[in-house]
Structure 1
Amino acid sequence: YFFFLRMDENYILLPHGVNFQEAIFPDTQENRRMFASLFQFSNCSQAQHVLSFSSDWEIQEDNRLMCSSVQKALFEEEDRVKKLQQKVATLEKRNKQLRDRVKKVKRSLRQARKNTRHMEQMNRKLSEKLSSAGGQIPYINSLKQENSHATYLKV
């Protein structure tokens, strides 16, 4: 973690933010000793027992308080990360829903185009049949009945 520190009005270093990245300095006893006076991380680790580099009770108490504020900054950062992860999960779910909807619309469009092509092909075949059979089948109105007589009487 990178801890961004700020100084308050009493010139006390306080954690200002946390950034989850690779550390510049490895976590060794020598580096802890070197940075203990500046960053006061000597008692922050609960996973392992860390040597206290000062016998002065006041400095140790400051370290303990600093650790609680560092922990608070870490918890706040973890909460922020959780919220962002939930937001990302929600957005990914919505994105998947929208992709599925787009797939369905594309499928419907392909099916509609296929049906349109099929209907156009059927219409073409039907018009070809009608045009090729046009000379063979006369229209009813053009037929003359044989032996047709005028049914009108002259008055």
Structure 2
Amino acid sequence: MTEILPIPPAVPDADAQEAVAGVDAVLAARALREGDRIAGLIAAAELDTVGSPRKLPMDLWPDADPELVAEVWSRALVVGVRAGRFMSAPRFYRDKLASLQGRLAEAGYRAMGKAAEPAVVAAYRSPEWHPVDVEDEREH
């Protein structure tokens, strides 16, 4: 469950408030733009995973409770995105993956812990690149 943080007190200085409002507007616009991009990626991935536009109605699960389908959809999306993050850069999540694998096993979820083991092994086998090992052709 997401923790709701308290809203910080208002910035007393008018110039500081204006600066905060400017940053707020730019970052909010970026978030909205990226939200549209993410929605587009989800739509494309949805088609990619079913294989054909004519199969898209299957994702509505018309014979199931719509509220349950929505809950499962939301949870699956969060899990899928997190798994994708782990998969895209496993070397950054070595300790986290090992901890999660151990916690599963310790809590009695032995099959899940065993299933997570290859991901942990792969994460520890991922090479560590140092910036001087790879030249970046882009200049900033």
Normalised TM-score (structure 1): 0.25
Indicate the structure with greater strand content.
1
Indicate the structure with greater helix content.
2
Normalised TM-score (structure 2): 0.27
